Homo-oligomer: A and B are copies of this chain.
Amino acid sequence: MNICSARPDDGTIRSTFLLPSGPDAPYGWRVPVTDPARRTGPHRIPSPQRMSTSPRTTLRSAPGKVLLLGEHAVVHGEPALAAALELAVEIRHEPGNATLRLRDSGGGLDTRPGHPDRVGRALEAILQALPPEAGSGELTVRSSIPPGAGLGSSGALCAALVRVLEAAHDLQLDPMQRLTAALAGERVFHGNASGLDPAASLFGGLIRFVRGTPPSIRPVTIARPLDLVVAQVAPGADTRRMVDDVQRRIDSLPAGGRAILRTIGICVDAAVDCIGGGDLDGLGQAMDMNHGLLTSLGVSTEALDHAVRLARAHGAAGAKLTGAGGGGCIVALARPGRLPDVRSALAPVSSLVHTLTLHPTP
């Protein structure tokens, strides 16, 4: 088993936990949408707001992720690079109910394991992968990750569920047990999910991931700070539909499709070398190439292409769509000192702009 923690993360609440933003969740639960006037500007960090706790309360969070490179190809066995975000799902557990109940802090969701909605079915799948004592209590969930934007909101939900149930019931899981349980939930949302989203959420930092049983997950050595800008430029499309679209394209020209997937994998590993060697130009080039390769699989849009060009023209060493495409987000790598320029250039065309610096490995 090739698993280790990229950056130890025990799931304690981060001080930078953000207010929710973004469109309605596609899987039946809503997160509050912030003031529309704010949706065209950079995402501002509010004062930390915590849910109330009591001594018997357990509180855990799990971050969203941004795919630096490798989306879609990772479904077909190629490596991908993902970084944990500061946007997160936070879940509070209180003992009481003999059977588990899950609500969101906004009151729009109220479900139980096995309920026909997707969260209920995911909860059921997660419980089946955990010891029986995990299945009791009251859960309240709050998310700052815009759902359906390719930022791993459902993977983070599943990871946070596993973490809070583990902590509340002192389950003492190992990393693989955590990932297996979270992936069982994630597959309710995304069908043939690779497991990358819950892995990025559970392991944190920057990881190289290859799907498998077990998956290969390893931390990526970072030589120089990586200043990233994540911008949502359109509502996200359904991940499963996009994955199916890519499969149809591959089926209609298998030799070309397979070569494109392999080329994405080659770009991912070239990018790992660039990150380890402090070569920001090379990493930017890998991101640009990866965007073109995703275009060749039919998952980019005019809005995503436009945002990618804007970023490159305003100080990004490279930029690409991130996630399933068909809408959603782009990620740009800012040249040293240019993070504000890239953020400002993207703000007018984005509903959310999130910045993130990945620091050099100690």
Copies in the complex: 2
Q: Which of A89-97, A155-163, A293-301 contacts B (4 or more CB under 8 A)?
A: A293-301
Interface residues of A in 253-300 (CB under 8 A from B): 253, 255-257, 259-260, 262-263, 266-267, 269-270, 274, 281-282, 285-286, 288-298, 300
A135 CB → nearest B CB, Å: 47
Contacts of A292 in B (CB 8 A): 260, 292-298, 300
A260 to B296, CA, bound (A): 11
- A308 CB to closest chain B CB (Å) equals 10
Bound: A286/B296 CA distance, A: 9
Residue from A255, A262, A281, A309 whose CB has the most chain B CB atoms within 10 Å: A255
- Chain A: residues with Cβ within 8 Å of the partner, total of 35
The 8 Å CB contact of A262, one of B257, B259, B267, B288, is: B259
CB distance from A333 to the nearest CB of B (A): 13
CB distance from A281 to the nearest CB of B (A): 6
The answer to whether A259 and B267 have CB atoms under 8 Å apart is: yes
Q: Does A306 make an interface contact (CB < 8 A)?
A: yes
In-complex Cβ contact of A263 among B249, B263, B286 (8 A)? B263
Contacts of A227 in B (CB 8 A): none
The 9 A-B residue pairs with the shortest CB-CB distance in the complex, in nearest-first order: A292-B296, A292-B295, A259-B263, A256-B267, A253-B285, A289-B296, A259-B266, A252-B285, A255-B270
**Which residues of A does B touch, CB under 8 Å?**
249, 252-253, 255-257, 259-260, 262-263, 266-267, 269-270, 274, 281-282, 285-286, 288-298, 300, 302, 305-306, 309
Supply 16 A–B pairs (Cβ within 8 Å), ascending by A: A253-B274, A253-B289, A256-B263, A256-B270, A256-B286, A256-B289, A259-B259, A260-B289, A260-B292, A263-B263, A288-B298, A291-B295, A291-B296, A293-B293, A295-B295, A302-B305
